[in-house]
Copies of this chain bind each other. A is one copy, B any other.
Amino acid sequence: MNKFDISVQTLRRLPDYLNYLHGIAKKEGYISATSIAAALNLNNVQVRKDLAYVSNAGRPRKGYPIEVLIKDLESFLGYHDVDSAVIVGAGHLGKALLHYSGFQAYGLKILAAFDNNEKILSEEKSGSIFHIDRMKEICSELKPKIGIIAVPAQAAQQVCDLLTECGVKAIWNFAPVHIAVSNNILVVNENMAAHLAMLSIHLRRPLEQSADKEINL
């Protein structure tokens, strides 16, 4: 299994496996994919496939040594090598991301957000939103690996260039526009409208065809 081929669907389940294993009282022994599947109400073939991305400690008829599997999951999820990010744009979306609690399950940390809107800056109380003029200075100290673009489409490329100058290695782009980056930078484009459209199209599916009533994006 090449871990870079992992799907978002599998990634969604990994923190659940980790939570479950952390909750087990006796961690000396082994645990089977079947037991994990039963506890989490999942298919055991799925669990086996998911864990194959993460660990090669599984043994036939024994399962996984619990302590090793916990370490492998933590290491895969980056618990020992926390990736940090900064957000540009502290409007509704930027603030939603800044305050989103789900990132810590993946060992991710949002360090700060930047904006040039005086109203946003003056109303700010959390201490984590700064004027964009201070971005280079603050980033040279915090050294974030990831830059998150949460500005309107027309400002996205300019913000992307600024993030690149600040040394980020990857961009998570929420602006509904294509951005150009230099060769060694990874870009992940997020398109929330396409997700809602996916739901909308499945909604028009005739009832007898609706095999999946749950879609995970």
Identify the A interface with B (CB < 8 A): 3-4, 6, 8, 11-12, 76-78, 81, 83, 85, 91-93, 95-103, 105-108, 145-146, 169-170, 172, 176, 181, 183-205, 207, 209-210, 213-217
Contact = CB atoms under 8 A, between A and B. Distances in A.
B101 A196 contact: no
A204 B146 CA distance: 12
Contact of A203 (B186, B203, B204): B186
A93 B176 CA distance: 17
Given A97-B192, A183-B213, A192-B100, A11 B199 contact: no
B85 A201 contact: no
Q: How many copies does the complex hold?
A: 2
Contacts of A183: 213
Nearest to A185: B213
Contact of A192 (B3, B102, B216): B102
B101 A176 contact: yes
Contacts of A8: 191, 194-195, 198, 217
Contact of A217 (B12, B181, B189, B203): B189
Given A8-B194, A11-B198, A105-B193, A146 B92 contact: no
A79 to B, nearest CB: 11
B96 A197 contact: no
B199 A195 contact: no
A84 B210 CA distance: 20
A32 B203 CA distance: 31
Nearest to A152: B101
Contacts of A92: 92-93, 95-96, 98-99
Of listed A145, A183, A201, residue having the most chain B CB within 10 A:
A201
Contacts of A195: 8, 172, 188, 190
Given A186-B210, A190-B195, A191-B217, A201 B108 contact: no
